[in-house]
Amino acid sequence: MRVRDLMTREVVTVSPETPVRDAGALLVARGFTMLPVVDERDDLVGVVTEADVLRDRLPVDPRALVHGEPPRRRPTPCRTVGEAMSGPAVSASPGTDVADLARLMLDHAARSACVVDGKRLVGVVTRRDLLRAISRDDHAVAAEVRRRLCVYADARRWAVSVVDGRATITDELDDERDRHVAAVLAAAVPGVVEVRFAEPRHAGRR
């Protein structure tokens, strides 16, 4: 399975000129932890995270001054996203293997990753997207595997079953070359963790 198979294509973004407060409000309203920052060409120039928005924006509680504590100096908070943004912890291309991206996200403790085609932002993948892919109902996964195989060849040729994400395919024509194509098509379906082939019913009567 490739990143393009599960990425979110309609991405909410901000520009470097967006006020940091507006970016923070958007993070809260949408329940995001990160927003991609793009320029006028939709090229990815950075990301703004919850930590970026929070940095230096919370003032010291003024009640501390009542007890004679001297006020602590703190840096002036950033006004625009361009001043506050950071580099993406993890990014990938649409053709990246999902297993490789998942490993990178776990290694960097990243909850989301930007998907870029060259420099242009084309999507986002979150941990929830990865979990959704591996948690799909077996019946739904089998139906999609069957649909993809039927586009390739006669629907009556294939039998498909899926248990715990493991797809078992029976090819009534038992064509080794087509098995390779079928394996590739099935493995690209979100939720498939393994592809196996069963002997066709007529195999023992040869």
Confidence of residue 154 (pLDDT cuts 50, 70, 90): confident
Q: What is the pLDDT of residue 206?
A: 47
Given a cut of 80, whether residue 144 has pLDDT beyond it is yes
Fold of 3-134: CBS-domain (3.10.580)
- Asked whether the predicted pLDDT for residue 3 surpasses 90, the reply is yes
DSSP characters over 148-203: HHHHHS-GGGEEEEEETTEEEEEETT--HHHHHHHHHHHHTSTT--EEEEE--TTG
Q: What pLDDT is recorded for position 68?
A: 61
Reported pTM:
0.68
Angle, to 10 degrees, between the axis of helix 176-187 and the axis of helix 138-152?
A: 130
- Determine the average pLDDT of the residues in 121-135: 90
pLDDT band at 63 (very low <50, low <70, confident <90, very high): low
Q: What is the pLDDT of residues 23-39, one digit of tens each?
A: 999 999 999 989 999 99
What mean pLDDT comes out for the span 30-58? 89
Residue 4 dihedral angles phi and psi, to the nearest 5°: -60, -20
Encode 160-175: b = buried (16+ Cβ within 10 Å), e = exposed. Answer: bbbeebebbbbbeeee
- Domain assignments of the chain as residue spans, ordered by start: 3-134, 138-197
How does residue 60 score in pLDDT terms, banded at 50, 70 and 90?
low
Tell me if 74 sits within 8 A of 60, measured CB to CB: yes
Instruction: Identify the band that residue 74 occupies on the pLDDT scale cut at 50, 70 and 90.
Output: low
What pLDDT is recorded for position 57?
59
Task: Provide the token pair at 117.
Answer: 């085609």
Distance CA(121)–CA(41), nearest Å, equals 9
pLDDT band at residue 96 under the 50/70/90 scheme: very high
Residue 112 clears pLDDT 50, i.e. is over it: yes
Asked if residue 134 has pLDDT above 70, the reply is yes
State yes or no: pLDDT of 153 exceeds 90.
no
Of the two residues 66 and 32, the one the predictor is more confident about is: 32
Which H helix or E strand runs over 123? strand 120-126
Whole-number pLDDT of residue 20:
93
